[in-house]
Amino acid sequence: MTMTSNRTTPRNAILGGDCIQAMRSFERGSVDFILTDPLYITRYRGRDGRTVANDDNDQWLRPAVNQMHRVLKPGGFCVSFYGWAKADVFMEAWRAAGFRIVGHLVFRKRYASSARFLRYEHEQAYLLAKGEVSPPEHPVPDVIDFDYTGNRLHPTQKPTSALAPLIECFTRPGELVLDPFCGSGSTLEAARSLGRDWPGVELDAMHYATAKARLACERRAAA
């Protein structure tokens, strides 16, 4: 008797809750591309006092990365932001899950997020591959300008202008772009603007509501 799976990968939906549990309900190899900005494990506190849930521990990292690798199709790419102070922890998790590191991206800011030993004027991400991959037809530069969002919707909000070129590079219209740490929905908004499908997951109830409202507003504007 053939066993059937009841796992289903959602399209064009935002799920509230733990992304590890959410991704366990997704089909294996069902996602074309992952673009995500996970917690940096730095006990982040913004100038306005806002914090990020679970940023004080790394217990979630390996289980989440394992599920990201499982749901990504063979030959697919993942772009993951990371905190430079915990680069070794992120690399260990990626490699343990089976990802290969095939590139590095720097997002150049026109302002400093903070200053201590240096003025910190960039963000960074790694390009990860699952299995054997083919280079994109039109590779993007490994240095991308990073517009200031004002962090109006999220304490670490990323600009869609920096995310869209990556989605356009590594996917085709109609393919599925996952963000398991979707925050205020920047990746999802960028994916939809390019004609890609998307699911997102967000643990924080307030940010989940923000992302839902943001994507609903985009839907109404497109109608």
Please give the full DSSP string across the chain, using - where no structure is assigned: ----------SSEEEES-HHHHHHTSPTT-EEEEEE----SS--B-TTS-B-TTTT--TTHHHHHHHHHHHEEEEEEEEEE--GGGHHHHHHHHHHHT-EEEEEEEEE-SS-SEESSSEE-EEEEEEEE-SS----SSPPPSEEE----TTSSSTTPPPHHHHHHHHHHH--TT-BEEBTT-TTTHHHHHHHHTT-B-EEEE-SHHHHHHHHHHHHHHHHHH-
Position 7 in a domain: no
pLDDT at 2 over 70: no
Position 42 in a domain: yes
**Could you report the per-residue pLDDT of 7-53, keeping only the tens digit for each?**
899 999 999 999 999 999 999 999 999 999 999 887 766 666 676 77
pLDDT at 193 over 60: yes
Q: Could you tell me if residue 215 is left (phi over 0), alpha (psi between -120 and 50 degrees) or otherwise beta?
A: alpha
In whole angstroms, what is the distance from residue 102 CA to residue 88 CA? 16
Position 13 in a domain: no
pLDDT band at 1 (very low <50, low <70, confident <90, very high): very low
pLDDT at 62 over 70: yes
The CATH number of the domain where 137 resides is what?
3.40.50.150
Which domain covers residue 90, as residue numbers?
A: 28-174
Give the percent of the chain with pLDDT over 70: 91
Position 18 in a domain: no
pLDDT band at 116 (very low <50, low <70, confident <90, very high): confident
pLDDT at 140 over 50: yes
Domain count, the chain: 1
Position 183 in a domain: no
Position 75 in a domain: yes
Mean pLDDT for 160-177 is 98
Position 189 in a domain: no
Query: CA geometry: angle at 84 spanning 53 and 34, to 5°?
Result: 65
